[in-house]
Amino acid sequence: MRFGERLVKATAAHGPLCVGIDPHPGLLDAWGLPRDASGLERFALTCVEAFGGHVAVVKPQAAFFEAYGSRGVAVLERVVADLRGSGTLVLVDAKRGDIGSTMAAYAQAYLADGSPLAGDAVTLSPYLGFGSLDPALDAARASGRGVFVLALTSNPEGSPVQRATGPDGRSVAQSIVDQAAVRNAGADPLGDVGLVVGATVGELDADLSDLHGPVLAPGFGAQGATVADLRRVFGEDLRGVLPASSRDVLRHGPDSASLRSAARAVGDSLGL
**Where in the sequence numbering do the catalytic residues fall?**
95
Contact status, residue 227 vs residue 205, Cβ threshold 8 Å: no
Please, which residues have CB within 8 angstroms of residue 208's CB and are 6 or more apart in sequence? Answer: 177, 195, 197, 215, 234
Alpha helices in 87-222 (DSSP H): 100-111, 134-143, 159-162, 172-184
Contact 218, 175 (CB under 8 A): no
Alpha helices in 56-211 (DSSP H): 62-66, 69-86, 100-111, 134-143, 159-162, 172-184
11 phi, psi to nearest 5 deg: -70, -30
Q: What is d(CA 124, CA 266) in angstroms, rounded to the nearest whole number?
A: 26
Q: How many CB atoms lie within 10 A of CB 268?
A: 11
Helix or strand (DSSP H, E) at 92: strand 89-96
